[in-house]
Structure 1
């Protein structure tokens, strides 16, 4: 499995989340999981599958888009 990490600012709240992800490529799909943190505290664990079949979409980009969209869709207001 490949690893990837990043930061994402929530689209609505402006809160910054750190994440660490692992992924595996299966043809034109990437299966991923990520651990989300805020201020050094674990917040969530998410997973997904993403298709990346265009010439400019790499596995890293597909995972990043998937993780960021899931963070934006989550309700982390109680943190």
Structure 2
């Protein structure tokens, strides 16, 4: 069965540097997992493309929230110092 990809976008301020990053993500739900990919930008310039899988099995965790948490944590873990 084919699932439609959902789109999500957001902004995230890097936890250590305070720099603001925009991101556009796509995701697909597979049971209690969400598979996602996101394109990261800073000041309108492409910075990175990331992807991951996240489990969202608690009552208050939606697929949108799971993707947002995954993207934000990956941005915080990245070293974008030379931008």
Regarding TM over 0.5, the answer is yes
Unpaired runs of 5+ residues, structure 1, are none
Unpaired runs of 5+ residues, structure 2, are none
TM-score by length of 1: 1.00
Structure 1 residues 8-65: Cα deviation after superposition (integer angstroms, max 9, x where no partner): 0000000000000000000000000000000000000000000000000000000000
Query: Rg larger in 1 or in 2?
Result: 2
Matches of 1:78 and 1:55 in 2, distance apart?
40
Matches of 2:48 and 2:80 in 1, distance apart?
9
What's the CA shift for 1:67?
Answer: 0.0
TM-score by length of 2: 0.95
Provide the residue aligned with 1:39 in structure 2: 43
Following TM superposition, the consecutive aligned residue runs of length 4 or more in structure 1 with deviations greater than 2 angstroms are: none
How many residues are aligned here?
79
